[in-house]
Chains A and B, each alone.
Chain A
Amino acid sequence: MLLWFGLAVLTAVVVAVLLRPLLADGAVDSSSGEARDPAASTAVYRDQLTEIGAERARGLIGATEAEAARVEIARRLLAAADSPKGTATPSALRDVRALALGLAACLPVLAIVVYLALGAPGQPGQPFAARAPEGTGTSVEQLVTRVEERLRAHPEDGRGWDVIAPVYLRLGRYHEAANAFQQALRLVGESTDRLAGLAEAHMLANDGMVSEAARKAYERLRVLAPDRMEPRFWLAVAAEQDGRLAEAEKVYAQLLTEANAAAPWRPTVGERWRAVRRKQNLPTEPVPDGTAESKPTSIAPALSREDVRTIQQLPEEERRRMIEGMVAGLDQRLSENGRDLEGWQRLIRAYTVLGRREDALAALARARAALSEETQAQDTLTSLARSLGLSS
């Protein structure tokens, strides 16, 4: 009600201000208006005439030029003084009163119509300080606000960051989520959940691009929890985004082969695998499938899909022999040409899976020796060794 009263007062004042000159007694206004027009410009020219005198005295203009300028200005002065007077008449428009009435009627109506179309008269203002006092609010937003306030006062409160980070993630405030996970990791310590959250937040904040920060977090996570699938998957996505399609495809295939049929992420990975195959102009059928067997086949990437299929159909004993044969072949090949990091990784992993720890350690040492000049390869080997539990 108060609002409508305010609007009415405002409108009334404006209408009154606008109508006053229209309804004013015309006679007084007109006489001053008539006299004013020429007076304004003649005053300017008179002033210019005096100025010429001053300029002459300061040597700004020569004697003959001053005279000429004076004549010029005098001519303008006469022209201005002679300009037709009294063109302005109060009665030029007979029905000014009708116009005024029309204005007084239309202006408020139009204002209300436009305002109702745009405004929200029913909504009260809600200053921050006057809002629901502390403790009574229970909505997620209010809880978040309270935690935020606490964190501003105690930015070293790692538990607070830990609590709020996943909430930010769910609310879609990805940048803040990434920051909160980062703080929690720094203050509370490393954990797989925090790393996974950090990576996810970074990724979502970048519209699904696996950014450098996300990649780092996933790489660390893969080391900490080699059995989790999402670091492997997202690093493959990163590879795909970097244009390393073959590498991505291999990991997707590996994931599909290892997954059991009920895994909820299976269709997603399958979709990505097909997309990558399409990009390389390769057939997209059949999708790699490891559901027939529950046995993990960690050396599968070394083999073509057909080989895997063949192996999986063999009886247990024969399959083991065949795998060992292939591993021995790989070992042999690497002894002849050691500059193959991927081969070495595969070999070390295979020995570990087969339970031949001594051989794995020996392969690791040989790999280090063979690739001694490549520091990056050394790093890869070190992290591989750590993830397989081979480092002392």
Chain B
Amino acid sequence: MIVELGHFALVLAFLVALVQMILPMWGARIGDVRLMGVGAPAALAQFGLLIIAFSALMHAYVVSDFSVANVYANSHSTKPLIYRISGVWGNHEGSMLLWVLILALFGAAVAAFGTNLPETLRANVLAVQASIALAFLLFILLTSNPFERLDPVPADGRGLNPILQDPALAFHPPFLYAGYVGFSMAYSFAIAGLIEGRTDAAWARWVRPWTLAAWMFLTVGIAMGSWWAYYELGWGGWWFWDPVENASFMPWLAGTALLHSAVVMEKREALKVWTILLAILTFSLSLMGAFLVRSGVLSSVHAFAVDPKRGVFILAIMLLFIGGGLMLYAARAPSLRQGGLFAPLSREGGLVLNNVLLTTATGTVLVGTLYPLALESINGAKISVGAPYFNATFVPLMVPLLLALPFGPLLGWKRGDVAAAMQRLMIAGLLAIVAAVVALAIVQRGPWLAPFAIALGVWVVAGALSELAFRVKAGNADRAEVFRRLRHLPRSVYGTAIAHAGVGVMVIGIAATSAWQSETILTMRPGQTVQIAGYDVAFTGVAPAEGPNYREVIGLMQVSRGGSRITELSPSKRQYNAPPQATSEAGILNALAGDLYVVLGDEAGDGAWSVRLYFNPLVRLIWIGAVIMFIGGACSLSDRRLRVGAPRRARRRLPAAAPAE
């Protein structure tokens, strides 16, 4: 009964989305408050119904109700509880349900917390959001219904792809989707703004928290996926420029550009037309990501769902929303008035540079991702565009971006003083040079560009901190004054500095691990010892072991350094029963200086095994940097100014505002 209740709730959610799309927009058009008023309760009802549907499916997974086809195909009665729950979104149907659930969550958040928005804007935003939900709900009901039943009921389920039975991957999709889908808010605001002809500074401020939240989730989601690939796929790498990774990376790049251009629009009402376009494009890239992953046009480690019918359906959704959005943009953009003026060397100018570089980078990733697909569809040739292409195109775009990054926050609005900014960044520059020299002295070997990449990372971190130091007049004022200023600094300033420092930390990690990764591949016999990065790794043999649904061979590796034993690593090769699949579990020792990463290869006969060993210096900084960026985003999100405009607060401030100026 619970299953059927969930199914019915899904159908109702579809109808509510229909109502939510039509009535509020109609009300905004003819100016009827009551029709517009339907938007908020409808958004909340839609969210509630999808919660019911999602919970019903999750319940079916938890109690292993194999009368549901989706549970039968993706679960098993003996699977641990956590993977029974994560199995809900570990498959195509369930993940689409999660997608619309998050879509509805953002809609409901606008309904509940968007009370500071003008009535018509809110009605239009909710209507556009509902139209997206409607398309995806139709897609679910027609092609990917998770509530399909089986009769007779099979005795037990088919199990979950073993590569997905992993904690990091259990929580990777919800974060990633929160990011992808969160950008739908930016899209809905852009379309609503275009419909109303209202795109001003206030609009930019209203759209900001949603974009920021989506960006934060996407940052963590991508980092989680990369972390999973690092330790599960056993190649010692953390980013593969795989099309599915690119599909999540492109919205991130565009979303980062959007965050920055929205600041300009909010503060100075400049870059309006551009910001609107960026908002549409960012969500378009999210939709394209959904299409690439869900249609199965790619066959990579991520492509689990393969069904051409679904692919065509998602393609239609994608074309409708991208095409519709761009057409509306083309019709309305010429009528948008440009706002404030600024000199090229100013905060605004810096943000324009940021946007130019980030969107160009998005373009290069887009070409690298779609070119192989286009080529394959034209002449059937299967090529893969890998790291060499992206190193040659993407990296050169990032270098000037990172060089310029610390200047941005130090430049004044409208007209900046570059000489003064340079003076303030003197210490950061010195630190960067010292870092390069130290790096060179420590490693004493190529590649020679690597120390400069490290210096770049240090430059960004130190630059972000110098901005804070300058703001609080550290060194120029007494201690009490510095603390007073620290307390009164807006949280968005902290957010900027923290997020930028996170970028720098990540750059250091990337530079170090790409340049100085050491790798040894050899055949080892029991008793043999190999040296890597100062560690002595002794292979003592292999031992078979038996897991709940797999058999494995564990390699025993004694790790010591300078004669003293540090730890024992046990990389293993697993063979799962159902579905039959081999996976390799890497043995990883994480130390301050980097990771020792050991993978057991194939048996080479006579008790010898091929073994791959890597030392990845400072690789953890990549994910630590991502977490720092997330914290920076959260800090900025809590800034007071994003909550301004709620009617009650505004009225309270009214008398105070006038004399202050």
Binding site for B on A (CB under 8 A): 2-3, 6-7, 10-11, 14, 17-18, 20-22, 24, 26, 29-30, 33, 36-37, 39-51, 53-55, 58-62, 65, 68-70, 72-73, 76, 80, 87-90, 92-93, 96, 103, 107, 110-111, 114-115, 118-121, 123-131, 139, 141-142, 144-145, 148, 152, 155, 173, 175-176, 178-179
Q: A11-B12, A111-B8, A144-B155 are in contact. Are A128 and B31 (CB under 8 A)?
A: no
Contact for B11 among A26, A48, A68, A118, CB less than 8 A:
A118
B77 at the interface (CB under 8 A from A): yes
Q: Are B650 and A45 in contact (CB under 8 A)?
A: no
Q: Top 8 nearest A-B pairs by Cβ distance?
A: A21-B37, A43-B650, A127-B63, A128-B64, A141-B155, A65-B414, A41-B202, A44-B202
Q: Pick 12 A–B contacts, CB within 8 A, sort by A.
A: A18-B41, A24-B37, A42-B650, A45-B202, A49-B661, A50-B660, A58-B489, A110-B15, A118-B141, A129-B64, A155-B546, A175-B577
Q: Which residue of A lies closest to B547 (CB)?
A: A155
CA distance A225 to B205 in the complex (A): 81
**Chain A residues, Cβ within 8 Å of B660:** 50, 53
Chain B 634-646, CB-CB to A under 8 Å as 1, else 0, gives 0000000100111
CA distance A115 to B141 in the complex (A): 10
Q: Are A7 and B63 in contact (CB under 8 A)?
A: no
Q: A22-B35, A92-B31, A111-B15 are in contact. Are A126 and B471 (CB under 8 A)?
A: no
B383 at the interface (CB under 8 A from A): no
**Chain B residues, Cβ within 8 Å of A73:** 201
Q: Are B45 and A88 in contact (CB under 8 A)?
A: no
CA distance A65 to B120 in the complex (A): 34
B2 at the interface (CB under 8 A from A): yes
Contact for B577 among A51, A111, A176, CB less than 8 A:
A176
- Given A14-B12, A33-B36, 15 new contacts (CB under 8 A): A17-B41, A18-B19, A30-B33, A47-B644, A70-B661, A93-B32, A111-B12, A118-B141, A120-B4, A123-B151, A124-B67, A126-B67, A126-B153, A130-B63, A141-B155
Q: Are A43 and B644 in contact (CB under 8 A)?
A: yes
Q: Which residue of A lies closest to B16 (CB)?
A: A14
CA distance A65 to B340 in the complex (A): 11
Expressed in whole angstroms, the minimum distance between the Cβ of B133 and any Cβ of chain A is 15
Expressed in whole angstroms, the minimum distance between the Cβ of B404 and any Cβ of chain A is 18
Q: Which residue of A lies closest to B489 (CB)?
A: A58
Q: A50-B661, A69-B268, A88-B33 are in contact. Are A44 and B205 (CB under 8 A)?
A: yes
- Chain A interface mostly helix, strand, loop or mixed? helix
Chain B 30-65, CB-CB to A under 8 Å as 1, else 0, gives 111111111011101100010010000000100111
Expressed in whole angstroms, the minimum distance between the Cβ of B157 and any Cβ of chain A is 9
Binding site for A on B (CB under 8 A): 1-5, 7-9, 11-12, 14-16, 19, 27, 30-38, 40-42, 44-45, 49, 52, 60, 63-67, 77-78, 116-120, 141, 145, 147, 149, 151, 153-156, 200-202, 205-206, 267-269, 339-340, 412-415, 471, 489-490, 546, 548, 577-580, 641, 644-647, 649-651, 653-654, 657, 660-661
Q: A18-B41, A45-B201 are in contact. Are A88 and B120 (CB under 8 A)?
A: yes
Contact for B412 among A3, A26, A65, A148, CB less than 8 A:
A65
Q: Are B650 and A39 in contact (CB under 8 A)?
A: yes
Q: When A and B form their complex, what is the total count of cross-chain residue pairs whose Cβ atoms lie within 8 Å?
A: 243
Contact for A50 among B489, B580, B651, B657, CB less than 8 A:
B657
Q: Are A128 and B34 in contact (CB under 8 A)?
A: no
CA distance A2 to B219 in the complex (A): 45
Contact for B34 among A26, A42, A115, CB less than 8 A:
A26
Q: Are A93 and B30 in contact (CB under 8 A)?
A: yes
**Chain B residues, Cβ within 8 Å of A53:** 660-661
Expressed in whole angstroms, the minimum distance between the Cβ of A284 and any Cβ of chain B is 34
Q: Are A72 and B65 in contact (CB under 8 A)?
A: no
**Chain B residues, Cβ within 8 Å of A175:** 577-580
Contact for A120 among B149, B548, B653, CB less than 8 A:
B149
Contact for B156 among A41, A46, A68, A148, CB less than 8 A:
A148
CA distance A254 to B11 in the complex (A): 65
Q: A14-B16, A33-B119 are in contact. Are A44 and B645 (CB under 8 A)?
A: yes
**Chain A residues, Cβ within 8 Å of B646:** 43
Q: A6-B5, A10-B8, A92-B30 are in contact. Are A128 and B65 (CB under 8 A)?
A: yes
Contact for B7 among A24, A37, A118, CB less than 8 A:
A118
Expressed in whole angstroms, the minimum distance between the Cβ of B114 and any Cβ of chain A is 10
Q: Are B32 and A61 in contact (CB under 8 A)?
A: no
**Chain A residues, Cβ within 8 Å of B268:** 69, 72
CA distance A29 to B546 in the complex (A): 67
CA distance A145 to B42 in the complex (A): 46
Expressed in whole angstroms, the minimum distance between the Cβ of B181 and any Cβ of chain A is 23
CA distance A356 to B577 in the complex (A): 50
Q: Are A125 and B3 in contact (CB under 8 A)?
A: yes
Q: Are A127 and B64 in contact (CB under 8 A)?
A: yes
Q: Are A145 and B156 in contact (CB under 8 A)?
A: yes
Q: A40-B647, A44-B645, A72-B269 are in contact. Are A119 and B8 (CB under 8 A)?
A: yes
**Chain B residues, Cβ within 8 Å of A11:** 12
Q: Which residue of B lies closest to A73 (CB)?
A: B201
Q: Are A128 and B119 in contact (CB under 8 A)?
A: no
Q: Are A7 and B641 in contact (CB under 8 A)?
A: no
Contact for B45 among A17, A43, A115, A130, CB less than 8 A:
A17
Q: Which residue of A lies closest to B470 (CB)?
A: A59
Q: Are A76 and B201 in contact (CB under 8 A)?
A: yes
Expressed in whole angstroms, the minimum distance between the Cβ of B589 and any Cβ of chain A is 31
Expressed in whole angstroms, the minimum distance between the Cβ of A4 and any Cβ of chain B is 10
Q: Are B413 and A2 in contact (CB under 8 A)?
A: no
**Chain B residues, Cβ within 8 Å of A70:** 661
Q: Are B578 and A176 in contact (CB under 8 A)?
A: yes
**Chain B residues, Cβ within 8 Å of A179:** 577, 580
Expressed in whole angstroms, the minimum distance between the Cβ of B364 and any Cβ of chain A is 33
CA distance A236 to B147 in the complex (A): 47
Q: Are B32 and A92 in contact (CB under 8 A)?
A: yes
Contact for B38 among A18, A80, A142, CB less than 8 A:
A18
Expressed in whole angstroms, the minimum distance between the Cβ of B660 and any Cβ of chain A is 6
Q: Residue among A39, A68, A141, A173 with the most chain B CB within 10 A?
A: A39
**Chain B residues, Cβ within 8 Å of A49:** 657, 661
Q: Which residue of B lies closest to A23 (CB)?
A: B34
Q: Are A29 and B41 in contact (CB under 8 A)?
A: no
Expressed in whole angstroms, the minimum distance between the Cβ of B38 and any Cβ of chain A is 5
Q: A3-B4, A60-B413 are in contact. Are A21 and B67 (CB under 8 A)?
A: no
Q: Are A41 and B200 in contact (CB under 8 A)?
A: yes
CA distance A46 to B660 in the complex (A): 11
Q: Are B414 and A61 in contact (CB under 8 A)?
A: yes
Q: Are B4 and A40 in contact (CB under 8 A)?
A: no
Q: Which residue of B lies closest to A59 (CB)?
A: B412
**Chain B residues, Cβ within 8 Å of A115:** 7-8, 11
Q: A14-B49, A111-B11 are in contact. Are A22 and B201 (CB under 8 A)?
A: no
